[in-house]
Structure 1
């Protein structure tokens, strides 16, 4: 996704004391420059959209003023005799549109300047292509239509500058340039700085932004390496988990078969007890009826009291006998359990399942925790990276020579 670039337009009022210095800088007449961004090998690529050759700024300004200014009074020494405009965007924007469109950008900016301040008032329009970011220094004389030299009427204050900047952005957009309006000083509440002061400060901030950006890139690189190591560790854990799972699944399957066998023995025991109950009861009733019949033949009659006592004794014997056979049956089942190791299996089954579940939960917790750390740290670094990148791009948009 291509980041939006800003249409940058600044103005600075100039007195006669700075004209010569401005000329030497704009027309590259100095032998040495403190601005390290100036590449002298590219200075031949610079051009003036108003003049074919280098000019004398002071003579050109004085000539325009003397011809168009109606007042005959001498100018004050501290009078504002010209206004220099700075037009630019960011480095990436100019690299993206190419050399021809870059020239058209500055030609369009000059057309805007002519429409706002009058073509007859323009002195020069020097385009610098030998620095980090292409830009244009264009100068006009603040002469009103009625011949007065008045920067106040022509340029106004901060509010008027904001209006000019809004109009400039729209003008560039209407002429096919994909730019947007930057944040105005009214919104940021920042104090207006002179161009040279702003350049120095911007240069320092660009260096700081580059340093911060590099730190973030190093942190992100470190985090990516950490993430890769963690992902590799998790993959190894997943492989180990599959092996453990296969081992436990096989063991649990055997345990379930043994549990099923144990349940079968117990079920058979319960069924056998029921059969024995029926058998003992039927035998007891048969014995009781036979004995009572014999007793009747001998004694002719049986009292109810004798019959009840006889039944109680017989049932006590029945319960004793039944309990004896049940103990024998339980002993047989216990032997079967021990032979099949069913009791040990039950304990092993519970401990194995618990260990297996605990291992799975631990792995899930580890993986979830690691992914949470990676996700949140990556987001924090990503947000910081984007913020630094935006700041870096914005500052480089203003990255001009000191």
Structure 2
């Protein structure tokens, strides 16, 4: 099945630097995302090119609007526009048009002047576009709540986005929001744990590669300390993946419904059977990271690994 996918992530401003580095590919190493193929990064392109840094773009628009900014205000929204891998592959030559059409849809909804970046990534598994905008209303108020709305409003967003894209590509199907399927998205703290583990893996790899006859003692101590942190994390990571698999594949429980709810439940069950391609893609990424952790630990000198295991058993 081919889906038209639209996702929003609200940010208060602190994430602008990190997101800019990821979207604009200014980092040299992307350990947290093994799907990035640096040999294809040159194929990425902008539809809307930022003039300054993301932080400056955000501040400029807020300053020009002269609006009130609270401490907890959402200052910008990162929008993900993509589709199913099979659709992207079958319509490879039409993907630029796909993203242009999606951009047109968002310009009408959030205001062209509020969009400061729209970059298409061609260097990952499935082509996708990251579009960032400042949620300013027509009367110059900073309000992501008014622009995006509540959960029910998000259903309307999905309906309208699907209608826009399916007008050009009738074979597309509408994605199913969590509010309709009653399935929660995977907890974001899992991804934070993975990112932290990636950083430690890189440190361990650097420490192991740096061991030589001149610094054996120091680097060895560093490697042992990192192993002390990594071993329990790697051991529990497989359990995390298994729980994720259950979250992705578990069907909706049959519930006792009143007569008027029966039809709605049928619709939900039908939607559930479609499976969540997006969550399965996330699961694949995490499994890749787990395998990387296992591979790296396999390369740890046996005496170091034994030393750490013995130390843990003594506690």
Match of 1:162 in 2: 155
1:149 equivalent in alignment to 2:142: yes
Relative to structure 1, the CA distance from residue 130 to residue 87 in structure 2 (aligned partners, 3 Å threshold; closer, same or farther) is same
Which residue of 88, 98, 111 corresponds with 2:82? 88
Quick one: distance in 2 between partners of 1:76 and 1:143? 14
Partner-residue secondary structure (3-state), 1:17: coil
Greater percentage in helix: 1
Cα shift readout 1:33-60 (whole Å, capped 9, x = no counterpart): 1211110110011111111x77411111
- Go from structure 1 to structure 2 and tell me whether the alpha carbon gap of 1:399 and 1:180 turns closer, same or farther (over 3 Å shift): farther
Find the residue that maps to 1:7 and give its secondary structure.
Answer: strand
Q: Secondary structure at the match of 1:8?
A: strand
Correspondence for 2:43: 45
What is the distance in 2 between the residues matched to 1:131 and 1:398? 13
* Structure 2 counterparts to residues 3-402 of structure 1, below 5 A: 4-33=1-30, 34-51=32-49, 55-67=52-64, 69-71=65-67, 73=68, 75-98=69-92, 100-176=93-169, 178-192=171-185, 391=275, 395=279
Partners of 1:138 and 1:401 in 2: CA distance: 22
Is the contact made by 1:7 and 1:169 (CA closer than 8 Å) also made in structure 2? yes
Paired with 1:198 and 1:101, the residues of 2 have a C-alpha distance of 32
Q: Structure 1 residue 123: deviation in Å? A: 1.1
Largest Rg, 1 or 2: 1
Unaligned segments of structure 2, at least 5 residues: 195-236, 250-272, 287-315
Separation in 2, partners of 1:63, 1:401: 36
Distance 1:80 1:39 in 2: 32
CA contact (8 A) 2:84 2:126 kept: yes
Runs of 4+ in 1 over 6 A off after TM superposition: 198-201, 397-402
Question: C-alpha distance in 1, partners of 2:51/2:184?
Answer: 34
State whether residues 42 and 129 of structure 1, in contact with CA within 8 Å, keep that contact through their aligned partners in structure 2.
Answer: yes
Deviations along 1:143-170, whole A, 9 cap, x unmatched?
1111111111111121111110111001
3-state SS of 1:49 partner: strand
* In structure 2, distance between residues paired with 1:162 and 1:392: 16
Q: Give the corresponding residue for 2:295.
A: none
Deviations 1:257-297 (A, max 9, x none): xxxxxxxxxxxxxxxxxxxxxxxxxxxxxxxxxxxxxxxxx
How far off is 1:63 after superposition?
Answer: 1.2
Match of 1:308 in 2: none
**Contact 2:45/2:120 (<8 A) preserved:** yes
**Post-superposition CA distance 1:203-234 (Å, at most 9, x none):** 958x969xx9xxxxxxxxxxxxxxxxxxxxxx
Are residues 47 and 177 of structure 1, via their aligned partners in 2, closer, same or farther at CA, if it must alter by over 3 Å?
farther
Contact conserved, 2:36 with 2:124, CA < 8 A, in 1? yes
| C-alpha contact (below 8 Å) 1:83/1:139 kept by paired residues | yes
In structure 2, C-alpha distance between the alignment counterparts of 1:161 and 1:396, rounded to whole Å: 22
TM-score, structure 1 normalization: 0.48
Task: Tell me how far 1:15 sits from its aligned partner.
Answer: 1.0
Residue 155 and residue 192 in structure 1: after superposition, are their counterparts in 2 closer, same or farther (change >3 A)? farther
Alpha-carbon RMSD: 3.2
| In 2: Cα distance, 1:125 partner to 1:42 partner | 18
